Amino acid sequence: METLLRVLLRPAVGFMNQLNFKFKILTSFSILFFLLVLPSYALFSHYNSLVQERSTFLMFVTWLISIVVLATYFIMAFYYSLLESLERLEEASNKIAHGDMSVQLQSDTEDEIGKALYAFNRMRHELNNTLSSLDRYKMAMDETSIVSKTDLRGIITYANPRFCEISGYSEAELIGKSHSIIRHPDMPHEIFEEMWHTIQSKKIWRGVIKNRRKNGESYIVDATVIPVLDINGTLLEYVAVRHDITELERSKEELAKHKIDYLTGLPNKTKLLEDLDHAHRPVVFYLNIDDFMKLNDFYGNRMGDRVLVHMAKLLAFIAERYQCQVYRVYNDEFLLLCEEKNIHTDSYQTLLREIINDIEESTIDCNAPACISFTVSGGIAAYSLHGSRENLPLYAGIARNMAKRQHKKLMIYKHAMRNEENYAKNINWIKRIKRAIEQNRFIPYYQPIQNNTTGKIVKYEALVRMIDEEGNTISPFFFLEIAKKAKLYSKITQAVIDTTLETFRDRPEYECSINLSTEDIVDQEMRSYIYNKLGSYPYPERIIFEITESEEIKDFEIVNRFIKKIRSYGTQVSIDDFGTGYANFSYILDLDIDYIKIDGSLIKNIDHDTESRIITEAIIAFSKKLGTQTIVEYVHNQAVYDTVMSLGADYSQGYFIGEPQATI
The half-sphere exposure of 328 on its side-chain side, counting CA atoms within 13 A, is: 22
- Distance between CA 576 and CA 623 in Å, rounded? 13
Residue 127 scores a pLDDT above 80? no
Most confident of 26-30, 581-585, 637-641: 637-641
Q: Decide if domain 145-251 falls under CATH 3.40.30.10.
A: no
Provide the pLDDT for residue 3.
53
- Distance between CA 144 and CA 148 in Å, rounded? 13
Does 664 or 117 have the greater pLDDT score? 664
Superfamily of domain 258-415: Reverse transcriptase/Diguanylate cyclase domain (3.30.70.270)
Range(s) of the chain covered by CATH 3.30.70.270: 258-415
Q: Tens of pLDDT along 61-78?
A: 666 566 666 656 555 555
Residue 568 scores a pLDDT above 90? yes
Q: Tens of pLDDT along 136-162?
A: 655 656 666 888 999 999 999 999 888
Residue 418 scores a pLDDT above 80? no
The H or E element that residue 75 is part of is helix 54-97
Overall residue count recorded for the chain in this entry: 664
CB distance 651 to 597 below 8 Å: no
Residue 611 scores a pLDDT above 90? no
- The answer to whether the Cα torsion of 186, 189, 190, 191 is positive or negative is positive
36: Cβ contacts below 8 Å, ≥ 6 apart? 67, 68, 71
Alpha helices, DSSP H, located in 98-210: 112-144, 161-167, 171-174, 189-200
Please name which of 181, 212, 207, 186 lies closest in space to residue 196, comparing C-alpha atoms.
207
| pTM exceeding 0.75 | no
**Pick from 87-96, 226-235, 281-290: least confident:** 87-96
Range(s) of the chain covered by CATH 3.20.20.450: 427-653
Place 301 in a pLDDT band, splitting at 50, 70 and 90: confident
Range(s) of the chain covered by CATH 3.30.450.20: 145-251
Provide the pLDDT for residue 586.
58
Q: Tens of pLDDT along 527-545?
A: 999 999 999 999 999 999 9
Provide the pLDDT for residue 76.
59
Longest alpha-carbon distance in the chain: 159
Most confident of 250-259, 362-371, 634-643: 634-643
- Fold annotation for 427-653: TIM Barrel (3.20.20)
Tell me, what amino acid is at 60? F
